[in-house]
């Protein structure tokens, strides 16, 4: 660059004006002097016109820079003005890249090479590197031949592809920070004037301001957007918190008054506008989620007895799902409280049953029991005893509580047997109860019952009768079967007998009468049973059987000879009566009368139902 200091344009104009004034006032004006003065005036006018053009360009650029939103267009226009003002072939802008530590071409005007618009020049290389290092203008009349520059083949190839010879570059500096450089170039050797460099520096200063303003705007805009996002997020969280607080109050109210699962489902429907149900898990279909996320399913409680199913009309958001999780937690708390209340109720009932069967209960205790459990011991009750060979009484008690649920009854143990006291006429389906217990226990359960009309005074004896009945059923091998057979008191004498002992007893007492080879065995057994049922009255027995009296007498005589029975010996008669009764039980269990008067033929491998009662 030419280091000489040029005379300011305004001073040159003042001297020219003084010279013209002297020539005009000189009477001896020469032609050559006038010609020289006119030429100087013409040059001054041209210089002034150029200066006005530069000022107009700077003003236009400054005006456009005010709108930082279109900084890209401003940079393009500034480069174009720089090219036009210096009447150059090419103008371009290269911005500093801190990551790559070099300048990269950002905006070009007059370029002919497709790769020049993305040319990257490392720091210290070429014109861009020199300007960025020195941070002052640099001028070259012939780039490729200038030995002051550090040449890089790749960069030189980019310059050569554009045909660039003369170049001038000025730095872009704002707040003492190097931002890049502005260049104009020609495809011929050219010497640039100081005015050219000053003009380019003015444009560079404005471009630096534009870049700085753009960066400030971007930072402020980013900060504003972050603030807006934070505000929206905070506002959404505030709305969600208010919603959760309202929900919490309603859930506390429902749980506090021991409400129902239906109330919780109603809250879901109101909050989400969805359909919600608590259904038994056994009846709930498999968990399914639709692609739009509008369905929700969750099991409730430790044992997952209940399942919450929700079907919404719109996809469930994260907030919606958290709400549903709160509903599930509230449902679990509600179920736990109900379970604790039920445990307390059962515990009070168990203690009351033990006191009733041991020391008895006072009238005050009876009233308290009725208020707490709904059991009124002033009414007739049916005592039901349950026994199973491979199941502990404690386990049967637990099964009974699940079967009876909230029904008003007393459940406990007595004489190592599970017991239940149920109000007479309460509508307990013994057949269904028998079937349920067989399934839950995994093996046949013997059920014995006894009616207790005065629970406060006779409950202990009734409990013993029910227990003895269950034991007799076990002895007869009929556990798990159901019929309406009643056990007479004398049968209780055999309650501790084993099944094989009973079979031996029947065989010893009846012998030939039950021998399958005896063709008349059936008639003889029927005759003997009818004779006992009519109180040893042969006339009534023959009428019952529809046979002649003499035939009846002949059969009795034959029975007496076959089994050695003397009908005058009461002990022998009782012995045979018990055997006939046991034989009847065994035969009747092979063709059982089920509930509702329906007969069912037993099938191998299935358990039928038998209940023995003692009134």
Triad 467, 472, 478: Cα angle to 5°: 115
Q: For residue 441, which of 386, 502, 491 has the smallest C-alpha distance?
A: 386
Predicted local distance difference test score (pLDDT) of residue 360: 84
Tell me the C-alpha to C-alpha distance, in Å, between residue 419 and each of 108, 241, 299, 382, 399: 101, 53, 34, 10, 12
The Cα–Cα gap between 493 and 578 comes to: 10
pTM for the structure as a whole: 0.40
pLDDT at 290: 52
DSSP, res 168: E
- Under the banding of pLDDT at 50, 70 and 90, the label for residue 308 is confident
CA distances from 324 to 242, 247, 329, 336, 476 (A): 16, 11, 9, 18, 56
At 600, which helix (H) or strand (E)? strand 599-600
pLDDT of residue 605: 27
Its sign, for the CA torsion 24, 29, 35, 39, is negative
Structure tokens at 47: 């210089």
CA–CA separation, 513 vs 8, rounded Å? 153
DSSP conformation letters of 547-562? --HHHHHHHHHHHHHH
d(CA 31, CA 42): 16
Distances (CA, A) of 534 to 541, 565, 586: 6, 18, 22
Taking the C-alpha atoms of residue 186 and residue 143, their distance in angstroms, rounded to an integer, is: 10
DSSP run (H or E) holding 97: strand 90-97
- C-alpha–C-alpha distance, residues 461 and 468, integer Å: 10
Start-to-end CA span in the chain (Å): 132
The CA R_g of the chain, rounded to the nearest whole Å, is 57
Strand locations in 175-288, DSSP E?
Answer: 177-186, 275-280
The answer, yes or no, to whether residue 615 has pLDDT greater than 60, is no
Closest by Cα among 501, 490, 471 to 578: 490
* The pLDDT of residue 603: 28
pLDDT digits (tens, 9 = 90+) for 377-424: 888 988 899 999 888 988 988 888 888 877 888 888 887 889 988 888
The mean pLDDT value for 179-190 works out to 91
Q: Nearest to residue 151, comparing CAs of 130, 135, 165?
A: 130
Looking at the DSSP bridge assignments, the partners of residue 613 are 449, 486
**Strand-pair category, 611-614 with 446-452:** parallel
**Average pLDDT across the chain, whole number:** 77
Where is average pLDDT lowest: 107-116, 133-142, 236-245, 374-383?
A: 236-245
What 315-319 contacts at long range (C-beta under 8 Å, 24+ apart), as own/partner pairs, is 316/272, 319/240, 319/243
pLDDT of 181 above 50: yes
In the structure, what pLDDT confidence band is assigned to residue 166 with cuts at 50, 70 and 90? very high
The answer to whether 178 touches 171, Cβ cutoff 8 Å, is yes
DSSP conformation letters of 131-155: HHHH-S-EEES-TTT-TTSPP-HHH
For the chain, the 3-state helix, strand and coil shares in percent, each to the nearest 5, are 55, 15, 30
**CA quadruple 501, 504, 508, 513: dihedral, nearest 10:** 130
β-pairing, 381-387 with 446-452? Answer: antiparallel
From the centroid of its chain, how far is CA 336?
21
Helix (H) / strand (E) containing 408: none
| 508-549 pLDDT per residue, tens | 888 888 877 777 777 888 888 888 888 888 899 888 888 988
**Residues in a beta bridge with 138:** 169
Q: How far apart are CA 364 and CA 404, in angstroms?
A: 26
- For 331-387, how does the pLDDT look when each residue is reduced to its tens digit (9 = 90+)? 888 877 776 766 776 677 788 888 888 888 888 888 888 887 788 888 898 889 999
**Confidence band, pLDDT 50/70/90 cuts, at residue 70:** low
Q: Give me 158's structure tokens.
A: 């980019």
Instruction: Supply the pLDDT for residue 183.
Output: 92
The secondary structure of 446-467 as a DSSP string is: EEEEEEES-HHHHHHHHHHHHH
The C-alpha atoms of residue 263 and residue 278 are separated, in whole angstroms, by 10
């Amino acid at each position: 660059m030419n280091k000489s200091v040029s005379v300011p344009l305004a001073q040159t104009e003042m001297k020219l004006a003084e010279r013209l004034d002297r020539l005009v006032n000189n009477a001896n004006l020469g032609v050559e002097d006038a010609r020289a003065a006119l030429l100087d005036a013409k040059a001054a006018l041209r210089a002034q016109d150029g200066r006005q053009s530069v000022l107009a360009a700077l003003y236009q650029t400054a005006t456009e820079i005010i709108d930082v939103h279109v900084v890209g267009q401003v940079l393009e226009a500034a480069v174009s003005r720089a090219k036009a003002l210096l009447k150059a072939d090419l103008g371009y802008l290269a911005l500093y890249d801190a990551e790559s530590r070099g300048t990269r071409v950002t905006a070009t005007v007059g370029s002919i090479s497709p790769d020049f618009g993305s040319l990257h020049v490392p720091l210290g290389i070429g014109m861009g590197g020199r300007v960025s290092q020195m941070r002052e203008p640099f001028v070259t009349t012939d780039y490729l031949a200038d030995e002051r520059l550090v040449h890089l083949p790749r960069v030189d190839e980019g310059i050569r592809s554009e045909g660039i010879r003369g170049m001038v570059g000025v730095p872009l500096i704002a707040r003492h920070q190097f931002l890049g450089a502005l260049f104009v170039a020609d495809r011929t050797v050219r010497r640039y004037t100081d005015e050219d460099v000053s003009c380019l520096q003015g444009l560079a200063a404005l471009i630096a301001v534009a870049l700085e303003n753009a960066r400030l705007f971007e930072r402020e805009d980013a900060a504003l957007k972050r603030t807006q996002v934070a505000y929206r997020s905070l506002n959404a969280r505030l709305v969600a918190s208010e919603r959760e607080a309202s929900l919490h109050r309603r859930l506390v109210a429902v749980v506090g008054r021991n409400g129902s699962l239906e109330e919780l489902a109603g809250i879901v429907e109101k909050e989400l506008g969805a359909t919600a149900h608590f259904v038994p898990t056994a009846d709930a279909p498999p968990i399914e989620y639709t692609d739009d996320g509008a369905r929700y399913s969750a099991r409730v409680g430790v044992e997952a007895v209940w399942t919450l199913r929700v079907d919404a009309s719109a996809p469930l958001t994260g907030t919606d799902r958290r709400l549903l999780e709160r509903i599930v937690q509230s449902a679990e708390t509600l179920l736990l409280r109900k379970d604790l209340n039920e445990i307390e109720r059962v515990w009070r009932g168990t203690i009351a049953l033990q006191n009733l069967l041991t020391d008895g209960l006072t009238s005050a205790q009876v009233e308290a029991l009725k208020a707490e459990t709904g059991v009124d011991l002033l009414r007739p009750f049916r005592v039901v005893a349950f026994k199973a060979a491979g199941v502990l009484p404690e386990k049967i008690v637990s099964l009974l509580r699940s079967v009876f649920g909230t029904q008003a009854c007393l459940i406990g143990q007595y004489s190592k047997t599970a017991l239940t006291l149920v109000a007479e006429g309460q509508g307990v389906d013994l057949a269904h109860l028998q079937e349920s217990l067989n399934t839950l226990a995994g093996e046949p359960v013997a059920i014995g019952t006894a009616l207790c009309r005065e629970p406060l005074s006779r409950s202990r004896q009734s409990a013993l009768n029910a227990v003895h009945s269950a034991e007799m059923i076990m002895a007869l091998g009929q556990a798990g079967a159901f019929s309406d057979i009643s056990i007479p008191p004398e049968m209780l004498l055999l309650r501790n007998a084993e099944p094989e002992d009973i079979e031996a007893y029947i065989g010893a007492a009846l012998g030939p009468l039950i021998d399958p080879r005896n063709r008349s065995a059936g008639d003889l057994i029927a005759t003997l049973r009818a004779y006992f049922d009519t109180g040893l009255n042969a006339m009534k027995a023959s009428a019952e059987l529809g046979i002649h009296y003499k035939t009846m007498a002949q059969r009795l005589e034959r029975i007496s000879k076959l089994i050695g029975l003397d009908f005058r010996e009461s002990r022998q008669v009782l012995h045979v009566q018990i055997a006939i009764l046991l034989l009847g039980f065994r035969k009747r269990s092979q063709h059982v009368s089920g509930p509702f008067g329906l007969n069912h033929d037993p099938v191998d491998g299935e358990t039928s139902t038998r209940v023995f009662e003692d009134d």
